[in-house]
C-alpha cells in the first residue's frame, strides 16, 4: 500500500464582524479548500503555506493548534493522509492557480459547508469554524 500526504488549511477572515471561509472550485469540478502534496522534505506548515500561496496568491498566518487529519484512498493501492490547519487571511488579492483552480471565493461561514463536495471537507470546515469562533470569543 502506497502512502501519500497532503496539507492545507481552512482559510478565514473577518469582515464587518462576519466570519468568511475561502472556498475553491477546482478544475476537476469539485469544491474544496486549499491543500496539496508535501514536496521533498517540507514540514506540514511549509506545505500548507506554499499550497495556499500557489492556489490563491493569499498571504496567511497558519494556526497549528488546530490540526485535523483525514485519511482516504484516492485510488486502489494508495492511502492518503491530509492534514488541515486553520489560517487567517492577512493580505493579497485572490489570483487562482489556473492549472488547478477554476475559482476561489469567500463565503459566509454559515454557508461554507453547503458548497463543499466531500463530507470529509465539510467535517473539517465545521470543526474549524467552531474552533475559530471559540477563539474569537475567548
Q: Which residues pair with 5 in a beta bridge?
A: 81
pTM value is 0.95
Instruction: Determine the pLDDT at residue 137.
Output: 78
For 26, other C-beta atoms within 10 Å of its C-beta total 16
| C-alpha span between 83 and 66 (Å, rounded) | 10
- Helix and strand numbers (H, E) in the chain are 3, 7
The C-alpha R_g of the chain, in whole angstroms, comes to 14
CATH of 2-137, one of 3.90.79.10, 3.40.50.620, 3.10.690.10, 3.40.50.300: 3.90.79.10
Residue pLDDT, tens place only, 59-110 = 999 999 999 999 988 889 999 999 999 999 999 999 999 999 999 999 999 9
DSSP type of residue 68: E
Evaluate if residue 128 carries a pLDDT over 90.
yes
3-class secondary structure, 79: strand
Amino acid at each position: 500500500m502506497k502512502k501519500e500526504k497532503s496539507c492545507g488549511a481552512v482559510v478565514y477572515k473577518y469582515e464587518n464582524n462576519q466570519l468568511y471561509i475561502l472556498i475553491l472550485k477546482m478544475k476537476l469540478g469539485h469544491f474544496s479548500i486549499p491543500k496539496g502534496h508535501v514536496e521533498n522534505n517540507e514540514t506540514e506548515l511549509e506545505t500548507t503555506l506554499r499550497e495556499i500561496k500557489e492556489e490563491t496568491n493569499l498571504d496567511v498566518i497558519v494556526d497549528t493548534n488546530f490540526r485535523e487529519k483525514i485519511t482516504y484512498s484516492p485510488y486502489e493501492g494508495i492511502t492518503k493522509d491530509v492534514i488541515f490547519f486553520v489560517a487567517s487571511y492577512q493580505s493579497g488579492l485572490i489570483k487562482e492557480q489556473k492549472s488547478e483552480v477554476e475559482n476561489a471565493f469567500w463565503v459566509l461561514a454559515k454557508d461554507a459547508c453547503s458548497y463543499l463536495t466531500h463530507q470529509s471537507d465539510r467535517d473539517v470546515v465545521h470543526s474549524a469554524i467552531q474552533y475559530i469562533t471559540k477563539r474569537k470569543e475567548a
